[in-house]
Amino acid sequence: MAYRKSFTFGFVVFVGLSALATLAIAQQQPAPVVIKPLKGGVYYTQGGVGGNSGIIVGQNGVIVIDAKTTPDSAKEMLAEIAKLTPKPVTHVILTHSDLDHVNGLAAFPTGLTIIAHENNKKEQEAALQRGGRGAPPADHQPTQVVTKNKQSLKLDGVKFTLLHWAPAHTSGDLVIYLPDQKIVFTGDLITTNGLYPLIHREKNGTGEGWVESVKGMIALDADTFVTGHGDLQTKADLQKKLAAVEERRARIKEMIAQGKSLDDIKQAFGEALPPGAAAPRFPSFTETQYQELSKN
C-alpha cells in the first residue's frame, strides 16, 4: 500500500511537472505566421517573431511592409507569401528602425529595393557602427530614402503615399497609406498592447510628434489601420487613443508646473514600482513625457 501511494504521488508530480514544462515550451514558441486578407490585393500578417507585416501583391511582384525580428521568422513569412502568389518579393518598405521590424531583412533576397525614412537609415547605420545589434547586415540596408513629409509613388501598379509628420515613436517613422484601398500601415505609432504609446527618446522620438502623427492619420480617407503590434484598428479607435494620450500629457504638464517630481507623478497614476521590483525594459510613457515636458 505504501508503495502504491508513493507511486501515485510520484506519478501526479511527474504529470504536473510535465504540464508545466509543456506550458513553458509553448509560451516560448511564437504563434505561426498567418496571412490575413484585407482588400484589393492587400494582406497583413500576424504571428511569428516581431511586429505585424504588410503584403501588397502588385502586377508583377510583391511589396512587403516590415520584415520581422529574426531571419527564421522572416523565412516563415516568405514561405507563406509563396503560397499566396508565385510573384517574387521586389520591394520592402520599413515603418521604423526597431529590430523587431527590420532584422528579419537578413533572410530576404539581396538586390531588393528597401525604402525607409532617411532617419531610419541613419539609426540603422548607427546600430551597425555599434556592432550590428538592432540592424540587418550592410547588404540589407535601405536603398531608397524618403526625405519629404509626404511622398506619393506607384510601385508595380499600386498607389502608395508615404507620410512622416514628426519624430514620434522614433525619429524615422514612416506611415504607409494606400489611398485606393483606404488602408494605413501605422508601424508602432499605433499598437494594441497598451493604451499609451512607447516613445523612444534614445531615437529622438517625442510625444508631441506622436500626437501630430496620429492627428494626421485620422485626417486620412482611410477606414482600416494595420497596427505595428496587435489587431486592426478603426478611426474611432485612433481617436480614443489620441484623447487618452492628450489627457495624460496635459495632466503631467500640470503636475510639473505644480513642482511634482517624476516619482510623485508615477505615484499619482498608480505606476510606482514596489520595492525590489525590476525596472521595465523601456521607460514608461509617463517617464518619457515627464522628461519631454519638463524641458518645455
Q: Where are the domains of the chain?
A: 32-235
What is the arithmetic mean of pLDDT over 1-26?
A: 38
194 versus 107: which is more confidently predicted? 107
Given a cut of 60, whether residue 16 has pLDDT beyond it is no
Q: What is the pLDDT at residue 132?
A: 64
Given a cut of 90, whether residue 17 has pLDDT beyond it is no
Distance of CA 17 to the CA centre of its chain: 35
- For 40-68, how does the pLDDT look when each residue is reduced to its tens digit (9 = 90+)? 999 999 999 999 999 999 999 999 999 99
Q: What letters, b where the CB count within 10 A reaches 16 and e where it falls short, cover 158-179? A: bebebbbbbbbbbbbbbbbbbe
CB atoms within 10 A of CB 105: 25
SS3 21: helix
Place of cell 484623447: 243
CA angle 65, 66, 67 (to 5 degrees): 125
Q: What is the pLDDT at residue 257?
A: 97
What is the arithmetic mean of pLDDT over 182-192?
A: 98
- For 87-134, how does the pLDDT look when each residue is reduced to its tens digit (9 = 90+)? 999 999 999 999 999 999 999 999 999 999 999 999 999 999 887 667
User: Nearest CA to 39 among 163, 175, 179?
Assistant: 179
Q: Which distant-in-sequence residues (6+ apart) come within 8 Å of 136 by Cβ?
A: 67, 102, 103, 104, 105, 106, 124
State how far the Cα of 244 lies from the Cα of 196, in Å rounded to an integer.
8
Indicate the helix (H) or strand (E) that contains 253: helix 235-257
Indicate the helix (H) or strand (E) that contains 154: strand 150-155
Q: What is the pLDDT at residue 10?
A: 42
Given a cut of 50, whether residue 12 has pLDDT beyond it is no
- For 234-283, how does the pLDDT look when each residue is reduced to its tens digit (9 = 90+)? 999 999 999 999 999 999 999 999 999 999 999 999 998 887 777 778 89
Given a cut of 80, whether residue 9 has pLDDT beyond it is no
Superfamily of domain 32-235: Ribonuclease Z/Hydroxyacylglutathione hydrolase-like (3.60.15.10)
Range with lowest mean pLDDT among 17-26, 161-170, 186-195, 206-215: 17-26
Q: What is the pLDDT at residue 21?
A: 34
Per-residue pLDDT band at 295 (split at 50, 70, 90): confident
CB atoms within 10 A of CB 132: 13
What is the arithmetic mean of pLDDT over 210-232?
A: 98
Q: How far apart are the first and last CA of the chain?
A: 77
